[in-house]
Amino acid sequence: MSVQPTAGPIRPPSEAYSLLIRVTKNCPWNRCEFCSVFKGERFELRTVEEVKEDILAARKQVDDIQRWAEQSGYGVGDIARYNGILWLQNDGVSSAFLQDSNTPIMKTEPLVEIVEFLYEVFPTLERVCSYARGKTIAKKKAEELRRLKEAGLSRLHIGLETGDDELLAYVQKGATADEMVQAGRKAVEAGFELSEYVMPGLGGRERWEQHAKNTARVLNEINPHFIRLRTLHLVPGTPLYEKAERGEFHVNSIEGVLIEIRRFIEDLDVTSELITSDFAPNFFMGEVDGKLPEDKERLLKSIDRALAQWRLRGEPKRNPFLGRLNQPVV
Protein backbone atom coordinates (compact mmCIF):
# COMPACT_ATOMS: atom_id res chain seq x y z
CA MET A 1 0.00 0.00 0.00
CA SER A 2 1.33 3.44 -0.91
CA VAL A 3 1.89 6.16 1.68
CA GLN A 4 -1.29 8.00 2.66
CA PRO A 5 -1.51 11.78 2.22
CA THR A 6 -0.94 13.98 5.27
CA ALA A 7 -4.14 14.34 7.30
CA GLY A 8 -5.03 16.86 10.01
CA PRO A 9 -6.86 16.11 13.27
CA ILE A 10 -10.36 17.38 12.50
CA ARG A 11 -13.10 17.39 9.90
CA PRO A 12 -16.89 17.79 10.10
CA PRO A 13 -18.93 14.62 10.69
CA SER A 14 -20.52 15.17 7.28
CA GLU A 15 -17.07 14.70 5.71
CA ALA A 16 -16.49 11.21 7.18
CA TYR A 17 -16.26 9.72 3.67
CA SER A 18 -14.31 12.56 2.09
CA LEU A 19 -10.69 12.53 0.94
CA LEU A 20 -8.83 14.71 3.46
CA ILE A 21 -6.26 17.07 1.94
CA ARG A 22 -4.22 19.15 4.39
CA VAL A 23 -3.70 22.59 2.87
CA THR A 24 -2.81 24.38 6.12
CA LYS A 25 -1.60 23.07 9.46
CA ASN A 26 -3.31 24.00 12.73
CA CYS A 27 -5.22 27.26 13.36
CA PRO A 28 -4.10 30.82 12.53
CA TRP A 29 -6.24 32.25 15.38
CA ASN A 30 -6.02 29.51 18.04
CA ARG A 31 -7.40 31.64 20.91
CA CYS A 32 -10.98 30.38 21.26
CA GLU A 33 -11.32 29.54 24.95
CA PHE A 34 -13.49 26.45 24.45
CA CYS A 35 -11.21 24.76 21.88
CA SER A 36 -8.38 22.36 22.70
CA VAL A 37 -7.51 21.01 19.26
CA PHE A 38 -4.54 23.14 18.22
CA LYS A 39 -3.34 24.60 21.51
CA GLY A 40 0.47 24.84 21.57
CA GLU A 41 0.75 24.23 17.82
CA ARG A 42 2.15 26.73 15.34
CA PHE A 43 0.13 27.62 12.25
CA GLU A 44 1.65 26.78 8.87
CA LEU A 45 0.64 27.40 5.27
CA ARG A 46 1.70 24.41 3.21
CA THR A 47 3.08 25.08 -0.27
CA VAL A 48 1.09 24.28 -3.39
CA GLU A 49 3.77 21.73 -4.31
CA GLU A 50 3.44 19.92 -0.96
CA VAL A 51 -0.33 19.74 -1.28
CA LYS A 52 -0.12 18.51 -4.87
CA GLU A 53 2.23 15.74 -3.74
CA ASP A 54 -0.42 14.60 -1.24
CA ILE A 55 -3.09 14.69 -3.93
CA LEU A 56 -0.92 12.56 -6.21
CA ALA A 57 -0.21 10.16 -3.31
CA ALA A 58 -3.96 9.71 -2.89
CA ARG A 59 -4.29 9.15 -6.64
CA LYS A 60 -1.65 6.42 -6.44
CA GLN A 61 -3.65 4.72 -3.70
CA VAL A 62 -6.70 4.73 -5.95
CA ASP A 63 -4.72 3.33 -8.89
CA ASP A 64 -3.23 0.58 -6.69
CA ILE A 65 -6.66 -0.44 -5.39
CA GLN A 66 -8.17 -0.43 -8.87
CA ARG A 67 -5.40 -2.80 -10.04
CA TRP A 68 -6.01 -5.09 -7.06
CA ALA A 69 -9.72 -5.09 -7.84
CA GLU A 70 -9.09 -6.10 -11.44
CA GLN A 71 -6.79 -8.94 -10.36
CA SER A 72 -8.89 -10.23 -7.45
CA GLY A 73 -12.41 -9.74 -8.68
CA TYR A 74 -13.39 -7.82 -5.53
CA GLY A 75 -14.99 -4.40 -5.76
CA VAL A 76 -12.89 -1.25 -5.49
CA GLY A 77 -15.00 -0.01 -2.57
CA ASP A 78 -14.66 -3.32 -0.70
CA ILE A 79 -10.87 -3.30 -0.95
CA ALA A 80 -10.73 0.37 0.04
CA ARG A 81 -12.87 -0.20 3.15
CA TYR A 82 -10.80 -3.23 4.14
CA ASN A 83 -7.73 -0.97 4.09
CA GLY A 84 -9.47 1.82 6.03
CA ILE A 85 -9.82 4.11 3.00
CA LEU A 86 -13.41 5.25 3.40
CA TRP A 87 -13.18 8.05 0.84
CA LEU A 88 -12.95 5.68 -2.14
CA GLN A 89 -16.13 4.07 -3.48
CA ASN A 90 -16.72 1.75 -6.42
CA ASP A 91 -17.35 4.70 -8.71
CA GLY A 92 -14.33 6.72 -7.51
CA VAL A 93 -13.77 9.67 -5.16
CA SER A 94 -16.84 11.87 -4.89
CA SER A 95 -15.89 14.37 -2.16
CA ALA A 96 -12.80 16.01 -0.67
CA PHE A 97 -12.29 18.15 2.40
CA LEU A 98 -9.52 20.74 2.71
CA GLN A 99 -7.89 20.86 6.16
CA ASP A 100 -7.13 22.24 8.74
CA SER A 101 -9.26 24.91 10.41
CA ASN A 102 -9.24 27.84 7.98
CA THR A 103 -8.09 26.96 4.47
CA PRO A 104 -9.39 30.20 2.84
CA ILE A 105 -6.73 32.16 4.74
CA MET A 106 -4.41 31.02 1.93
CA LYS A 107 -4.10 33.53 -0.89
CA THR A 108 -6.81 33.02 -3.46
CA GLU A 109 -4.83 32.01 -6.55
CA PRO A 110 -2.72 29.29 -4.87
CA LEU A 111 -5.89 27.87 -3.33
CA VAL A 112 -7.64 27.98 -6.70
CA GLU A 113 -4.69 26.08 -8.18
CA ILE A 114 -5.04 23.38 -5.51
CA VAL A 115 -8.80 23.01 -5.98
CA GLU A 116 -8.53 22.84 -9.76
CA PHE A 117 -5.73 20.28 -9.48
CA LEU A 118 -7.93 18.13 -7.23
CA TYR A 119 -10.65 18.01 -9.87
CA GLU A 120 -8.08 17.31 -12.58
CA VAL A 121 -6.61 14.35 -10.67
CA PHE A 122 -10.00 13.07 -9.46
CA PRO A 123 -12.51 13.77 -12.27
CA THR A 124 -15.27 11.94 -10.33
CA LEU A 125 -15.26 14.64 -7.62
CA GLU A 126 -18.66 16.17 -6.97
CA ARG A 127 -17.73 18.57 -4.18
CA VAL A 128 -14.77 20.09 -2.31
CA CYS A 129 -15.44 21.61 1.14
CA SER A 130 -13.50 23.46 3.82
CA TYR A 131 -13.67 24.97 7.29
CA ALA A 132 -13.40 28.77 7.31
CA ARG A 133 -13.18 31.51 9.94
CA GLY A 134 -15.89 34.12 9.72
CA LYS A 135 -13.32 36.91 10.03
CA THR A 136 -11.35 35.53 7.08
CA ILE A 137 -14.38 35.31 4.81
CA ALA A 138 -15.50 38.79 5.86
CA LYS A 139 -12.11 40.14 4.72
CA LYS A 140 -12.09 38.30 1.38
CA LYS A 141 -13.16 40.30 -1.66
CA ALA A 142 -16.38 39.18 -3.31
CA GLU A 143 -14.54 38.45 -6.56
CA GLU A 144 -12.04 36.24 -4.69
CA LEU A 145 -14.85 34.18 -3.19
CA ARG A 146 -16.52 33.85 -6.59
CA ARG A 147 -13.19 32.74 -8.07
CA LEU A 148 -12.90 29.99 -5.45
CA LYS A 149 -16.48 28.88 -6.07
CA GLU A 150 -15.91 28.76 -9.83
CA ALA A 151 -12.79 26.66 -9.27
CA GLY A 152 -14.95 24.09 -7.48
CA LEU A 153 -14.84 24.90 -3.75
CA SER A 154 -18.41 23.92 -2.92
CA ARG A 155 -19.23 24.32 0.76
CA LEU A 156 -17.86 26.35 3.68
CA HIS A 157 -18.20 25.26 7.31
CA ILE A 158 -18.07 28.32 9.61
CA GLY A 159 -18.02 28.20 13.40
CA LEU A 160 -20.39 30.95 14.43
CA GLU A 161 -20.79 29.47 17.96
CA THR A 162 -22.85 32.49 19.10
CA GLY A 163 -24.28 35.66 17.67
CA ASP A 164 -23.95 37.52 20.95
CA ASP A 165 -21.14 40.11 20.98
CA GLU A 166 -20.58 39.82 24.72
CA LEU A 167 -20.09 36.05 24.46
CA LEU A 168 -17.97 36.30 21.32
CA ALA A 169 -15.59 38.55 23.23
CA TYR A 170 -15.77 36.43 26.40
CA VAL A 171 -14.61 33.27 24.61
CA GLN A 172 -12.16 35.21 22.41
CA LYS A 173 -13.73 34.16 19.13
CA GLY A 174 -11.96 37.03 17.37
CA ALA A 175 -14.96 38.34 15.43
CA THR A 176 -18.05 40.41 16.07
CA ALA A 177 -21.64 39.47 15.28
CA ASP A 178 -21.67 41.98 12.43
CA GLU A 179 -18.53 40.39 10.95
CA MET A 180 -20.17 36.97 11.19
CA VAL A 181 -23.22 38.29 9.34
CA GLN A 182 -21.02 39.87 6.69
CA ALA A 183 -19.05 36.64 6.23
CA GLY A 184 -22.15 34.48 5.97
CA ARG A 185 -23.85 36.75 3.49
CA LYS A 186 -20.75 37.01 1.32
CA ALA A 187 -20.40 33.22 1.27
CA VAL A 188 -24.02 32.71 0.24
CA GLU A 189 -23.88 35.47 -2.37
CA ALA A 190 -20.73 33.90 -3.86
CA GLY A 191 -22.69 30.69 -4.38
CA PHE A 192 -21.25 28.48 -1.64
CA GLU A 193 -23.32 26.05 0.37
CA LEU A 194 -22.93 27.39 3.88
CA SER A 195 -22.92 25.37 7.10
CA GLU A 196 -22.97 27.47 10.30
CA TYR A 197 -22.12 25.89 13.66
CA VAL A 198 -23.84 26.94 16.88
CA MET A 199 -22.72 25.99 20.41
CA PRO A 200 -25.67 25.51 22.82
CA GLY A 201 -24.53 25.97 26.40
CA LEU A 202 -21.90 28.58 25.60
CA GLY A 203 -23.80 31.21 27.56
CA GLY A 204 -23.75 29.12 30.71
CA ARG A 205 -26.51 29.59 33.26
CA GLU A 206 -26.39 33.38 33.25
CA ARG A 207 -26.22 34.29 29.54
CA TRP A 208 -28.22 31.50 27.89
CA GLU A 209 -31.10 33.73 26.83
CA GLN A 210 -29.03 36.43 25.13
CA HIS A 211 -27.01 33.65 23.49
CA ALA A 212 -30.16 32.04 22.06
CA LYS A 213 -31.79 35.29 20.98
CA ASN A 214 -28.79 36.93 19.34
CA THR A 215 -27.59 33.74 17.65
CA ALA A 216 -31.01 33.35 16.04
CA ARG A 217 -30.89 37.00 14.99
CA VAL A 218 -27.53 36.59 13.25
CA LEU A 219 -28.62 33.41 11.47
CA ASN A 220 -31.84 35.09 10.35
CA GLU A 221 -29.70 37.72 8.62
CA ILE A 222 -27.48 35.08 6.98
CA ASN A 223 -30.03 32.33 6.17
CA PRO A 224 -27.40 29.58 5.70
CA HIS A 225 -28.10 26.24 4.04
CA PHE A 226 -27.29 24.28 7.22
CA ILE A 227 -27.31 25.06 10.95
CA ARG A 228 -25.46 22.45 13.02
CA LEU A 229 -25.67 22.33 16.82
CA ARG A 230 -22.53 21.41 18.76
CA THR A 231 -23.29 21.45 22.49
CA LEU A 232 -20.52 22.87 24.66
CA HIS A 233 -18.45 20.23 26.46
CA LEU A 234 -15.64 21.67 28.53
CA VAL A 235 -12.26 20.14 27.78
CA PRO A 236 -9.51 20.03 30.41
CA GLY A 237 -6.69 22.44 29.66
CA THR A 238 -8.83 25.01 27.88
CA PRO A 239 -9.28 28.51 29.33
CA LEU A 240 -13.06 28.06 29.61
CA TYR A 241 -12.59 24.84 31.58
CA GLU A 242 -10.26 26.70 33.94
CA LYS A 243 -12.86 29.46 34.36
CA ALA A 244 -15.39 26.80 35.35
CA GLU A 245 -12.92 25.35 37.86
CA ARG A 246 -12.54 28.78 39.43
CA GLY A 247 -16.31 29.27 39.55
CA GLU A 248 -16.24 32.09 36.98
CA PHE A 249 -18.28 30.16 34.39
CA HIS A 250 -21.35 28.17 35.39
CA VAL A 251 -22.16 25.33 33.03
CA ASN A 252 -25.85 24.92 32.28
CA SER A 253 -27.81 21.76 33.01
CA ILE A 254 -29.26 19.47 30.34
CA GLU A 255 -32.69 20.93 31.02
CA GLY A 256 -31.28 24.45 30.76
CA VAL A 257 -29.60 23.70 27.43
CA LEU A 258 -32.81 22.22 26.03
CA ILE A 259 -34.73 25.34 27.11
CA GLU A 260 -32.07 27.45 25.40
CA ILE A 261 -32.36 25.45 22.16
CA ARG A 262 -36.13 25.77 22.27
CA ARG A 263 -35.89 29.55 22.55
CA PHE A 264 -33.29 29.60 19.76
CA ILE A 265 -35.53 27.63 17.37
CA GLU A 266 -38.57 29.75 18.26
CA ASP A 267 -36.67 32.85 17.14
CA LEU A 268 -35.31 31.37 13.90
CA ASP A 269 -36.77 32.74 10.66
CA VAL A 270 -34.70 30.89 8.05
CA THR A 271 -35.01 28.30 5.30
CA SER A 272 -32.12 26.20 6.66
CA GLU A 273 -31.69 22.55 7.54
CA LEU A 274 -31.22 22.18 11.29
CA ILE A 275 -29.01 19.23 12.22
CA THR A 276 -28.04 17.77 15.59
CA SER A 277 -27.90 14.02 14.96
CA ASP A 278 -24.36 14.05 13.52
CA PHE A 279 -22.81 14.93 16.92
CA ALA A 280 -23.15 12.23 19.59
CA PRO A 281 -22.60 14.43 22.71
CA ASN A 282 -25.70 16.51 21.90
CA PHE A 283 -27.81 14.17 24.14
CA PHE A 284 -30.88 14.89 22.02
CA MET A 285 -29.66 13.22 18.83
CA GLY A 286 -32.41 13.09 16.24
CA GLU A 287 -34.79 15.16 18.36
CA VAL A 288 -34.18 18.40 16.46
CA ASP A 289 -33.30 17.51 12.89
CA GLY A 290 -35.52 19.14 10.30
CA LYS A 291 -36.10 21.72 7.60
CA LEU A 292 -37.16 25.21 8.56
CA PRO A 293 -39.66 26.77 8.62
CA GLU A 294 -41.93 23.83 7.79
CA ASP A 295 -40.65 21.57 10.58
CA LYS A 296 -40.48 24.21 13.32
CA GLU A 297 -43.57 23.07 15.23
CA ARG A 298 -42.48 19.44 15.07
CA LEU A 299 -39.04 20.36 16.37
CA LEU A 300 -40.44 22.39 19.24
CA LYS A 301 -42.72 19.50 20.22
CA SER A 302 -39.71 17.15 20.11
CA ILE A 303 -37.85 19.40 22.51
CA ASP A 304 -40.89 19.60 24.79
CA ARG A 305 -40.96 15.79 24.91
CA ALA A 306 -37.23 15.69 25.67
CA LEU A 307 -37.72 18.27 28.43
CA ALA A 308 -40.55 16.25 29.95
CA GLN A 309 -38.39 13.12 29.94
CA TRP A 310 -35.44 14.86 31.61
CA ARG A 311 -37.71 16.41 34.24
CA LEU A 312 -39.25 13.01 34.97
CA ARG A 313 -35.87 11.33 35.09
CA GLY A 314 -34.16 14.11 36.98
CA GLU A 315 -30.82 15.68 36.23
CA PRO A 316 -27.79 13.39 36.65
CA LYS A 317 -25.82 13.93 39.84
CA ARG A 318 -22.80 14.97 37.79
CA ASN A 319 -23.00 17.48 34.98
CA PRO A 320 -22.20 15.68 31.67
CA PHE A 321 -21.01 18.89 30.00
CA LEU A 322 -18.10 19.32 32.40
CA GLY A 323 -15.59 16.79 31.10
CA ARG A 324 -13.27 15.56 33.85
CA LEU A 325 -14.15 18.54 36.04
CA ASN A 326 -17.28 16.52 36.90
CA GLN A 327 -18.78 18.93 39.41
CA PRO A 328 -22.18 18.19 40.94
CA VAL A 329 -25.20 19.79 39.32
CA VAL A 330 -26.31 22.77 41.43
pLDDT over 80 at 203, yes or no: yes
The string of pLDDT tens digits covering residues 288-310 is: 789 999 999 999 998 998 888 87
**pLDDT band (50, 70, 90) for residue 282:** low
The whole-model pTM stands at 0.92
Per-residue confidence (pLDDT) for residue 2, from 0 to 100:
47
**Per-chain mean pLDDT for the chain:** 91
Decide: residue 120, CB within 10 A, 0-12 exposed, 13-18 middle, 19+ buried: exposed
**pLDDT band (50, 70, 90) for residue 329:** very low
Greatest extent of the chain over all pairs of C-alpha atoms, in Å: 64
Per-residue confidence (pLDDT) for residue 327, from 0 to 100:
46
**pLDDT band (50, 70, 90) for residue 4:** low
CB atoms within 10 A of CB 146: 16
Residue range(s) occupied by CATH 3.30.750.200 in the chain: 133-330
3-state secondary structure of 136: helix
3-state secondary structure of 60: helix
Alpha carbons 233 and 34: distance in angstroms, whole number = 8
**pLDDT band (50, 70, 90) for residue 326:** very low
Alpha carbons 212 and 302: distance in angstroms, whole number = 18
Per-residue confidence (pLDDT) for residue 319, from 0 to 100:
67
The string of pLDDT tens digits covering residues 96-154 is: 999 999 999 999 999 999 999 999 999 999 999 999 999 999 999 999 999 999 999 99
Per-residue confidence (pLDDT) for residue 288, from 0 to 100:
76
Tell me what percent of the residues of the chain surpass a pLDDT of 70. Answer: 90
Fold of 133-330: Transcription Regulator spoIIAA (3.30.750)
Which residues have CB under 8 Å from 120's CB, separation 6+? none
Q: Are strands 290-291 and 273-275 parallel, antiparallel or unpaired?
A: antiparallel
Alpha carbons 112 and 154: distance in angstroms, whole number = 12
